[in-house]
Amino acid sequence: MDYLKITGGTKLSGAIDISGAKNSALPVIAATILSDQELTLTNLPNVVDIRTLLKLLGMLGGTVEHNGTVATINNGSMNSTKAVYEIVSQMRASILVLGPLLARFGECEVSLPGGCAIGQRPIDLHLKAMEALGATIEIKGGYVRATAPNGLQGSKIVFDKITVGGTENTIMAAALAYGTTTIINAAKEPEIVQLCEMIASSGIEVKGIGSSEIIIEGTGQKPLKFQDTEIIPDRIEAGTYLCAGAITNSEITLNRVNTTHIEASINKLEGMGCSFDIQDDSITIYGNNRLNPVSLITTEYPGFPTDMQAQFMAVATMAIGESVIEERLFENRFMHVSELNRLGADIWLKGSVAAVRPVAQLYGADVMATDLRASSALVLAALVAKGDTNVRRIYHLDRGYDNLEGKLASLGAKIERLSE
Ligand code: EPZ
């Protein structure tokens, strides 16, 4: 199994390109099911999760040509509506095929994703929304079976809780429903905006893009014809590299980035004493050798993202006072705490709140990645830990960070991928 060996203590410098957003590419790929014609997606991140979802399209009978950052997809040949356990258990975002399969074919079976390292993560809100659109849902043998033999009917859907994936599934289902669907309390993440814009590019009316109320005029089971789509820059990858600049007190530049999407992270890093030069699609961070402590609460976009919580916790270990970090979205997203403490951090957990006390130095150790963002937090901590850190189970990192070790090495980090 591969692991990363990182020798800490090196300052970073230089510039890197940010890849396309995994969490935008996944719903965009799922949305291609709504079409029976060819389209090309560009700026895909070269990560395992993207390959897994493209493989699923192939298993459903779609035709996929994939080469690095570009995929040409034609789902005209799709002839299966069953997303099997083998794939869904590898990646829970496979649940995103539920809405489009059901809307286009009037039925589908999707394996239930099960629990995950960051929380229970139920899909009840996705299923309720499909029911509100007229589907019958049955759960049997570990699978969700959804049917709507006469197509879905546009409806008003009020989400009890803001859900990114639930909003995405509903937008896709509504696109081929009969009549108008109104989604109240929709998620507003940039990834949702990209999905809405892609759907609108097929000529159907989508109102309220980027707001918490989205209105979609469905086609009544008529497949869509999409424009080719370029995936937006990955705001979480960008935030992670800003944290790399902050924790190592370095000056680094990120190119091909949407700086509006990372305002919450920029704002917190400014409060910690970092400064920035922000251009149209690039940003330079200037570190500070005396980082202030940070206080943050994770929440939905445009608030502070849960997907940046672990990385900020790593940076907070180097601050000159006590930081307080509250996780409000996922009930178990603190698996990195004990691993950071193995590197010498002093982090105390009480319920959903972590207190990060300052330490003079982190020390290299063997640590284990537990989920995608927790893994990147360990890499960040390792960049300043004295000596060598081996980060194991990096298959989590490979799911969502495009060439992490290559990008960090190009900035001067001492990092190598080894096998054991
Ligand atoms: C998306 O997950 C992202 N994944 C996650 O990124 C991200 O952490 C999360 O949104 C929040 O921003 C992708 O986009 C592929 P949610 P998702 O539905 O859609 C509860 C990463 O590291 N909920 O917005 O699954 C849920 O348990 C990943 O890249 C229900 O109760 O998140 C959570 O507490 C990890 N019932 C909250 O809502 C439901 O039916 C928000 O989850 C659905 C969700």
pLDDT, one tens digit per residue, over 225-254 is 999 999 999 999 999 999 999 999 999 999
pLDDT at 113: 86
Supply angle C-alpha 254, 257, 258, rounded to 5: 140
pLDDT at residue 115 above 70?
A: no
Residue 90 or 26, more confident: 26
Q: Which of 164, 352, 375 has the most ligand 1 atoms within 8 A of CB, as the residue to mutate?
A: 164
Residue owning the nearest CA to atom 31 of ligand 1: 122
Expressed in angstroms and rounded, the spacing between residue 291 Cα and the centre of ligand 1 is 31
Structure tokens that stand for 365 in this block:
């150790």
pLDDT at residue 120 above 90?
A: no
C-alpha dist (Å) from residue 236 to 218, 250, 265, 372: 32, 19, 9, 11
Q: What is the pTM of this model?
A: 0.98
pLDDT, one tens digit per residue, over 266-281 is 999 999 999 999 999 9
Give the whole-angstrom CA distance, residue 420 versus residue 416.
13
pLDDT at 105: 97
Nearest partner of 93 among 169, 158, 33, judged by Cα = 169
Known catalytic residues? 116
Nearest partner of 243 among 221, 222, 262, judged by Cα = 262
Expressed in angstroms and rounded, the spacing between residue 224 Cα and the centre of ligand 1 is 27
The label of the residue with tokens 């109320």 reads 213
Residue owning the nearest CA to atom 42 of ligand 1: 163
Residue owning the nearest CA to atom 35 of ligand 1: 307
Q: Which of 97, 121, 137, 301 has the most ligand 1 atoms within 8 A of CB, as the residue to mutate?
A: 121
Residue owning the nearest CA to atom 44 of ligand 1: 163
pLDDT, one tens digit per residue, over 282-325 is 999 999 999 999 999 999 999 999 999 999 999 999 999 999 99
For helices 22-31 and 190-200, angle between their N-to-C axes, nearest 10 degrees: 30
